[in-house]
Amino acid sequence: GAAAQTPGVAARAPDAGPAAVRDAGQYLLGTYARPEVVFARGRGCELVDTEGRAYLDFTAGIAVNALGHSDPGWVEAVQAQAAELVHVSNLYHTVPQAELAKALVGTAAFADRVFFCNSGTEANEAAIKFCRKVARARWEARTAGRPPLAEAFHGAAAGPPSEFVSFSSGFHGRTMGALALTWKSQYRDPFAPLMPGGRYVAFGDLDAAKRAIRGSRTCGVFVEPIQGEGGVRPAEQAFLQGLREICSEEGVALVFDEVQCGLGRTGKLYAYEHYGVEPDIMTLAKPLAGGLPIGAVLLTDEVASAIKPGDHGSTFAGNPLVCAAATHVLGTITAPGFLKGVEDKGEYLKQQLAERLGGHPRVQEVRGTGLIVGVQCSAPVGPVVASALDKGLLVISAGEGDVLRMVPPLVVSREEIDRAVTTLTECFEAWR
């Protein structure tokens, strides 16, 4: 028969929403529990479903849509690049990839090189491999020429350091390596055995970290400067500074996972800038290409020197289309005044939430930095998330389900913040 025509947005039938829900139920793997809302279009901080109902988006695709939906400059950049060149693989150079690499490295004082991939978990998988490879290079340089008996006598490890240290409530991804560093057992247990060599330490416990991190066995330490999935928990200054000192003393790579908290979300381009503590490796992803899939690993020359052609790679990573989008996003976020606006709006959001919700019997704390904000509650916040959706506001949970998380587009206005806080106040009033 004749090939079916793929309908465009304008051609979709009135029952497209219910049909999409039915088709998803029949054909998609059931890895997501979703409400029966089907979004059709978006502009700025507003989403519109197939029924024509508008929603205020304080989720931003889980901290992805930094510039909101359908940002005109982003659309222009993507359309222009799509008309020229989309993909050639990493067998060849392209201008957009080189331009983005130069721009990204230029934004992070510690970084000398960047590796591109396609997601946050891929960025962390790459960082795992880079930690292992640089640890092996250091071990080989240290032990070269020693016979086995002398090696044992001098106290060197039987092989290169390969273990990792990560922290309670941390989230680094769902692929097998990153999953081994992720805290929640319900994510890990069904897929055991995972990558061996992971040790968990309480987030913020520097003494325990010092006991766990040993240069003879540890090749990398993974930490989020501000935990997102873990409940919007900023690290303490002394904790990150202490980790830096321990890792430097032990010769271990320190990895900052800024997949959710990086690229302007906190009011600085990178969350580590709030602390004045620099990593050896930093992973990025979510907002970088404004909704297109991209990941990036920024690293020092010392780490990069251990990585050789063929050690890692990706077919799709850093293709011209996503790099053109990312260059626009990065240029917008780093434009004069943008990050100050994020900082100011984040403080305003926290202040309004504290004033309006502070007296609620189930609200324990409002915390966050910039426009990653959490409301810690004494019970799971699912009823609030559902009620907010009914009222046309998108928010999500975090932590043990007891934190209401807000990660709106960075272009959100004060008027939109006021609307969101008013809606949440109504939701909390009904939740007692």
Angle at 197 between CA 314 and CA 155, to 5 degrees: 115
Contacts with 339 (C-beta within 8 Å, 6 or more apart), sequence order: 264, 267, 268, 269, 333
For 189, the token pair is 């247990």
Distances (CA, A) of 276 to 151, 224, 293, 303, 342: 38, 15, 29, 20, 19
Residue 312 CB neighbour total at 10 angstroms: 16
Q: Are 207 and 173 in contact (CB under 8 A)?
A: no
325-348 exposure pattern, b = at least 16 Cβ within 10 A, e = fewer: bbbbbbebbeeeebbebbbebbbe
| Neighbouring C-alpha atoms within 13 Å toward the C-beta of 249 | 10
Contacts with 216 (C-beta within 8 Å, 6 or more apart), sequence order: 155, 156, 157, 161
Query: pLDDT 10s digit of each residue in the chain, 432 long?
Result: 333 333 444 556 778 999 999 999 999 999 999 999 999 999 999 999 999 999 999 999 999 999 999 999 999 999 999 999 999 999 999 999 999 999 999 999 999 999 999 999 999 999 999 999 999 999 999 888 564 554 454 444 579 999 999 999 999 999 999 999 999 999 999 999 999 999 999 999 999 999 999 999 999 999 999 999 999 999 999 999 999 999 999 999 999 999 999 999 999 999 999 999 999 999 999 999 999 999 999 999 999 999 999 999 999 999 999 999 999 999 999 999 999 999 999 999 999 999 999 999 999 999 999 999 999 999 999 999 999 999 999 999 999 999 999 999 999 999 999 999 999 999 999 998
Q: Are 176 and 188 in contact (CB under 8 A)?
A: no
Report field, pTM of the whole predicted structure over 0.75: yes
Question: DSSP string spanning 161-213?
Answer: --EEEEETT----SSHHHHHT---HHHHGGG-S--S-EEEE-TT-HHHHHHH-
230-261 exposure pattern, b = at least 16 Cβ within 10 A, e = fewer: bbbbbbeeebbebbbebbeebbbbbbbbbbbb
Q: Are 404 and 397 in contact (CB under 8 A)?
A: yes
